[in-house]
Amino acid sequence: MGIGYQGKTLKEMLAEKDRLIRETGYFYGLEKLELAEEDPAKLTRFHMRLLAGCMSARETAKLISASPAAATMGEFLFEIATPEGDVVSASQGLAGHVLSVPFMVRAMIDLDYEDDPGIKEGDIISNNEPLYGAPHASDCYTFIPVFYEGELIAWTVGMNHISDVGGMLPGNLAGISVNAFTDGWQYPLVKSGENFKQHKWWELLWKTRTRLGTMNILDDKMRVAGAMALHNRISDIVEEFGVDYFMKALREILERERRVLIQRIKSQAVPGIYHLVQFHTVRYKGVTGKLFPNSDRDWLLHMPAELRILPEGKLVLDKEGLTSEADFHINCREAGVRAMASLGTRPMFAYSKTMNTAMMYVLDHEMPPGSMANPQNPFAGTISGLGIMGRYSVPLWNCISQAFFATGFLEEVMPHNPVIVAYGLGGVMADGFRWAGGNLSTVGVQSSAGRPFKDGEPVCVGSANLMTDLGEVEKWEFVEPTQLYIGQKLVPNYCGHGKYRAGLGLGICELVCEPGQHLTLAVFGSASSEVTGAHSGMCGGYPALGPVTYFVHDTNIKEILEKGLPYPTDFVQVREWLKEGKLKAGSVELYHGDTPNVVLKDGDLFVTACMANCGWGDPLEREYDLVEGDVRHGWLTLDVVKGVYGAITDGEGKVKAKESEELRQQMRDRRKERSVDAKDWWKEEREKVLTKQFSEDVYNMYADSSKYEKFRREFVGMWQLPEDYQL
Amino acid sequence: MEKRDDRFTKQNLKLLVEGKLDWEEVKKAIRLAPKDADRFWKYLEVLQERVPWKEKMLLRISDHLYIVAKEGGGRVVKCDCGHEFGDYRANWKLSCRIYVRKTREEMAEVVSVEEAVPNPDLVEIREFYCPGCYAQLGVEVVPLGYPVIFEMLPDLDTFYREWLGQPLPDERPDWFQDRTIDMPAQWAKEG
């Protein structure tokens, strides 16, 4: 006799679900949606009751948290799952994370948790271990089983992204970590509480294993409170609708949602094969040193994507050629890859009244074993892997945009390159108080890309959290008491250009104030400005630009402020002020993505920027009234307007049409003069490939990716290389 | 032709294609559920009226590029200026004029903040131009030697037969095959 519905074991229930999907193609074998056909209004009422429960849990529980990421940005989620782990409904919040829950429940079932430690009413089970389904250690999940007359009929789940996870570097998205041990504290599917109460020892672990014990304990209480509230709401709903209706309805909702997704693809896209590639740099050489010799090198990461839209409307995202797993911070396991890639599906076609895991049955992933998306080392570092795997959402945004563009649904076209930075910091105050913090503000919102009929807009798209929010500066300053924001603004010229350009990227400028005995800060970047975002913008537009970070040490900024003079507020101004000598500095560090742990002192500046998205179309076709708007608002400078867009303006920013037309013709003539036929270009490039004229990082990247037969075949075929060509 | 679905009109679609549709009307189109069933056919009409040539469009694949049916048989990629790029199963980029930005100075002409200019030791910027009108059709920021990226190979026969319910007259089992490699293979033979 099992603890599941109708006396089945959870193992039996999961096996039956898997078999029915495999044999019929329908979720739980539901070819006919009986409840929807008999009384659609009742099913909708039921569905909305679940959603209301999730939203209510979210809005009340978040008041317990002290973290700006949770309390103001909404970086969390409350969910209802079937006994087998399929999420049927979820609150607003971190959208991707619905797709992690099935992995965690499956792990509990596979590990025989029903037998040992046993699962009973009032249990609280916690997990942040990527081996068992968490995307990374900073994403903490709390499960409460829902029983009805002794049978487990659902799970309620609370999750959030905590601020510090006790890793080698402070914060929650490290730019350097070499394995699971330096990632931080990871707890695998622990029964952390009983009788709806966490154990005492659980609090001690938060206090001893992380730098932000108090804040993390409050986040834990938030997750438990929300999951409990949802548990109680489900009990009410079962009383109202009956347990048999409840169980059947959960399954019907998922099958109905699956069909909606397939239908959206089949009615708006084009079947076929789409390609996109992205690159990234990891700079560990000279940083990890003798302590971690396997990591003392640099990497150029190769992230190819082949998106196949199949005749039946399903999708396959193939990553063959992806860089191998390594001793760095950005490996990621399947749950994380699925969670993050799905972020590109939500706005494109998987929008729904309520988030769910129907996507599990619509989008398949091919994740080569041994690649950074499927590491075989159980101790692989994964602390920031989801940040990089989030870039596998880009083929879904951009390739599906291309498909919608082909069919004329231009209003649904929305390419996106989520280029973000996050940072962690920590130190010791003058009075000996040890502290740490993690800032996620730009993770919550990005600028949008150019679209086929309009420019992108600044600071408006939350790829990870559809409830887009930067958080409040004052709240961030409260939890990072050494950091004073002296600038948070759009940076002129910082965008991918095109006929329709991207929204401008966002810059942040912080002054370090009274850090006490010691302060360090490290940045994680989801992209690198050494190689840009995705390989391209759309239809001739330029790609998204990568992040930029300056650390400016020993400055005279406090003297400038004391005199009441103007001061620089973004990285471009900082650079220009330094050149002009108005801002003085003992030393300056510039980074293009991740940074090591940098020591900061009183009066230093930390200046960063990201979110510069990609453009759409040929910049020489940009309409003059849009150029005039760029100039009028100070978004593009005159040299860029002229050099990139071929527009000449008068003193008031009005485009001189005749002169601009002549300039654009000259620029097209210049294209003609300096371009060559593809065949001639191919010959020249082939010679360089044959003689292996690659830089060390590029050589290593090709050598690694050539282990994959498909990539090697493509590479050898493109350059017509001899069969024995080796790297 | 079936009855028009004018919940989103051809005129509004034309304005949307031109970037002239009022944002409030765009929002109405976004909210439209279900979408207008004849959108694709209206789109082809709007696009066909914008080009100076007569070949029948089968699919738009980029701002300037279309797959068209040739009268004597065949499906080729064609620019709105009239230039033809050959069989749609081979990557049209290999029929372009190509300019490669290799140095920081060359890249800085189109990346307008100096800190974000890519590292020339790692990548180059490839620009693909139409040999007819010199419109910029594509950009790639990739390492030296990276195979040219074939952005989209549509399965046209499945699309028309199974998704639109109107099969193309020249259906063939080999239409959905990547033929890109044939081009460098030919170039290698020619020497």
Residue where a domain stops, chosen among A207, A223, A257: A257
pLDDT tens readout for residues A248-260: 999 999 999 999 9
- Is A492 in contact with A635 (CB distance < 8 Å)? yes
Tokens encoding B64 = 């300037």
- Is A190 in contact with A540 (CB distance < 8 Å)? no
Cross-chain CB nearest to A410 (options B16, B134, B151): B16
Same domain, A506 and A611: yes
Residue where a domain stops, chosen among B108, B124, B142: B142
Distance CA B102, CA B143 (A): 10
* Residue at B156 is within a domain: no
Chain A residue with the nearest C-alpha to that of B133? A668
Distance CA A436, CA A438 (A): 7
Same domain, A650 and A524: no
Domain containing residue A641:
620-663
Same domain, A90 and A212: yes
Q: Do B178 and A273 touch (CB under 8 A)?
A: yes
The pTM of the full predicted model, rounded to 2 decimals, is 0.96
Helix or strand holding residue A110 (H, E): helix A101-110
Tell me what pLDDT residue A442 has. 82
Q: Which residue has 């050539």 as its token pair?
A: A706
* Residue at A383 is within a domain: no
- Is B161 part of the contact surface with chain A (CB cutoff 8 Å)? no
The one-character DSSP state at A234 is H
pLDDT tens readout for residues A420-437: 898 989 999 999 999 888
Which comes out higher in pLDDT, residue A466 or A621? Answer: A621
Contacts of A527 (CB under 8 A, 6+ apart): A278, A280, A391, A417, A419, A533, A544, A546, A547, A593, A610
A10-24 vs A101-110: helix crossing angle, rounded to 10: 120
Same domain, A225 and A115: yes
* Residue at B61 is within a domain: no
Mean pLDDT throughout A367-381?
Answer: 97
Q: Is A22 exposed, middle or buried (0-12, 13-18, 19+ CB in 10 A)?
A: exposed
Residues in a beta bridge with A525: A421
Distance CA A510, CA A482 (A): 9
**Contacts with A, B 92-111, CB within 8 Å:** 93-100, 109-111
* Residue at B86 is within a domain: no
Characterize A550-560 residue by residue with b for buried, 16 or more Cβ atoms within 10 angstroms of its Cβ, and e for exposed: bbbbebebeeb
Distance CA A495, CA A14 (A): 48
Q: Among residues A492, A599, A511, which one has the least CA distance to residue A555?
A: A511
Residue where a domain stops, chosen among A195, A223, A257: A257
Torsion of CA A282, A283, A289, A290, to 10 degrees: 30
Mean pLDDT throughout B117-135?
Answer: 98
Q: Are strands A587-591 and B65-69 parallel, antiparallel or unpaired?
A: unpaired
Distance CA A391, CA A396 (A): 10
Cross-chain CB nearest to A714 (options B34, B147, B163): B147
* Residue at A373 is within a domain: no
pLDDT tens readout for residues A551-594: 999 999 999 999 999 999 999 999 999 999 999 999 999 999 99
* Residue at A341 is within a domain: no
Q: Which residue has 């190819």 as its token pair?
A: A304
- Is A40 part of the contact surface with chain B (CB cutoff 8 Å)? no
How many degrees, rounded to 5, is the angle at CA B158 between CA B157 and CA B164? 95
Tokens encoding A408 = 């004329």
Tell me the backbone φ, ψ of residue B145, rounded to 5 degrees: 85, 0
pLDDT tens readout for residues A659-699: 999 999 999 999 999 999 999 999 999 999 999 999 999 99
The number of C-alpha atoms within 13 Å of A56 and in the hemisphere containing its C-beta is 14
Handedness of CA B156, B157, B162, B167 (dihedral sign): positive
Out of A195-209, A349-363, B94-108, least confident range: A349-363
C-alpha A399: how far from its chain's center?
18
Which residues on B lie below 8 Å from A535 (Cβ)?
A: 140-142, 149
Tokens encoding A70 = 């949770």
Distance CA A345, CA A268 (A): 14
- Is A307 in contact with A346 (CB distance < 8 Å)? no
**Band (B2; pLDDT cuts 50, 70, 90):** low
- Is A436 in contact with A171 (CB distance < 8 Å)? yes
Contacts of A116 (CB under 8 A, 6+ apart): none
Cross-chain CB nearest to A408 (options B40, B100, B143): B40
pLDDT tens readout for residues A524-541: 999 999 999 888 999 999
Sheet of strand B84-87, all strands in order from the earlier edge strand to the far edge:
B56-60, B65-69, B75-79, B84-87
Q: Where are the beta strands (DSSP E) in A91-222?
A: 124-127, 139-148, 151-161, 190-194, 197-198
Neighbours of A376 (CB within 10 A): 11
Which residues on B lie below 8 Å from A617 (Cβ)?
A: 63
Cross-chain CB nearest to A540 (options B17, B18, B139): B139
Same domain, A592 and A691: no
The one-character DSSP state at B35 is P
Tokens encoding A103 = 């992995």
Q: How far is CA B7 from CA A412, A453, B48, in A?
A: 16, 20, 22
Tokens encoding B78 = 């064609």
Tokens encoding A188 = 């695998």
Same domain, A156 and A226: yes
Tell me what pLDDT residue B108 has. 97
A623 pLDDT above the threshold of 70: yes
Tell me what pLDDT residue B3 has. 79
Domain containing residue B37:
1-50
Mean pLDDT throughout B54-64?
Answer: 98
- Distinct helix (H) and strand (E) counts, chain A: 22, 21
Q: Say what percent of chain B tops pLDDT 70.
A: 99
Q: Do B119 and A546 touch (CB under 8 A)?
A: no
Tokens encoding A481 = 């008491």
* Residue at A351 is within a domain: no
Distance CA A218, CA A67 (A): 8
Mutate to test the interface with A, among B111, B180, B182, B190 (most CBs of A within 10 A): B111
3-class state of residue A583 by DSSP: coil
Chain B residue with the nearest C-alpha to that of A307? B152
Q: Among residues A269, A682, A403, which one has the least CA distance to residue B151?
A: A403
Which residues on A lie below 8 Å from B112 (Cβ)?
A: 493-494, 497, 636-637, 640, 643-644
3-class state of residue A674 by DSSP: helix
pLDDT tens readout for residues A19-53: 999 999 999 999 999 999 999 999 999 999 999 99
Which residues on B lie below 8 Å from A679 (Cβ)?
A: 187
**Contacts with B, A 439-468, CB within 8 Å:** 452-454
Tell me what pLDDT residue A359 has. 95
- Is A701 in contact with A711 (CB distance < 8 Å)? no
Tell me what pLDDT residue A94 has. 87
Same domain, A422 and A440: yes
Distance CA A30, CA A20 (A): 9
ipTM above 0.90, yes or no: yes
Contacts of A382 (CB under 8 A, 6+ apart): A130, A135, A136, A137, A180, A183, A329, A330, A331, A332, A333, A336, A375
* Residue at B31 is within a domain: yes
Distance CA A317, CA A274 (A): 10
Amino acid at A439: N
- Is A70 in contact with A87 (CB distance < 8 Å)? no
Q: Say what percent of chain A tops pLDDT 70.
A: 100
A479 pLDDT above the threshold of 90: no
- Is A678 part of the contact surface with chain B (CB cutoff 8 Å)? yes
pLDDT tens readout for residues A222-242: 999 999 999 999 999 999 999
The one-character DSSP state at B30 is H
Sheet of strand A518-525, all strands in order from the earlier edge strand to the far edge:
A434-439, A421-428, A518-525, A598-599
Mean pLDDT throughout A148-162?
Answer: 96
Tell me what pLDDT residue A40 has. 97
Mutate to test the interface with B, among A535, A588, A677 (most CBs of B within 10 A): A535
Same domain, A473 and A512: yes
The answer for B12, left when phi > 0, alpha when psi is -120 to 50, beta otherwise, is: alpha
Chain A residue with the nearest C-alpha to that of B14? A408
Distance CA A632, CA A654 (A): 9
Handedness of CA A126, A132, A133, A137 (dihedral sign): positive
* Residue at A348 is within a domain: no
* Residue at B11 is within a domain: yes
pLDDT tens readout for residues A317-326: 999 999 999 9
Tell me what pLDDT residue B122 has. 98
The one-character DSSP state at A9 is -
3-class state of residue B51 by DSSP: coil
What is the domain count for chain B?
Answer: 2
Same domain, A625 and A695: no
Question: Distance from A605 to chain B by nearest Cα, in Å?
Answer: 17
Residues in a beta bridge with A308: A273, A316
A213-241 vs A243-268: helix crossing angle, rounded to 10: 110
* Residue at A589 is within a domain: yes
Mean pLDDT throughout A612-618?
Answer: 97
* Residue at B155 is within a domain: no
Distance CA B93, CA A718 (A): 13
* Residue at A215 is within a domain: yes
Tell me what pLDDT residue A444 has. 81
* Residue at B185 is within a domain: no
What is the domain count for chain A?
Answer: 4
Distance CA A441, CA A210 (A): 21
Mean residue pLDDT across chain B: 97
Q: Among residues A135, A586, A624, A49, which one has the least CA distance to residue A334?
A: A135
A14 pLDDT above the threshold of 90: yes
Same domain, A143 and A19: yes
Amino acid at A246: F
Tell me what pLDDT residue A67 has. 84
Tell me what pLDDT residue A616 has. 98
Same domain, A546 and A624: no
Mean pLDDT throughout A198-227?
Answer: 96
Contacts of B186 (CB under 8 A, 6+ apart): none
Out of A75-79, A243-247, A514-518, B57-61, least confident range: A75-79
Q: Which residue has 């909606």 as its token pair?
A: A260
* Residue at B169 is within a domain: no
Q: Do B19 and A571 touch (CB under 8 A)?
A: no
Tell me what pLDDT residue A353 has. 80
- Is A116 in contact with A21 (CB distance < 8 Å)? no
* Residue at A24 is within a domain: yes
- Is B42 part of the contact surface with chain A (CB cutoff 8 Å)? yes
Q: Where are the beta strands (DSSP E) in chain B?
A: 56-60, 65-69, 75-79, 84-87, 97-101, 124-129, 136-142, 152-154
Same domain, A130 and A198: yes
Mean residue pLDDT across chain A: 95
- Is B188 part of the contact surface with chain A (CB cutoff 8 Å)? yes
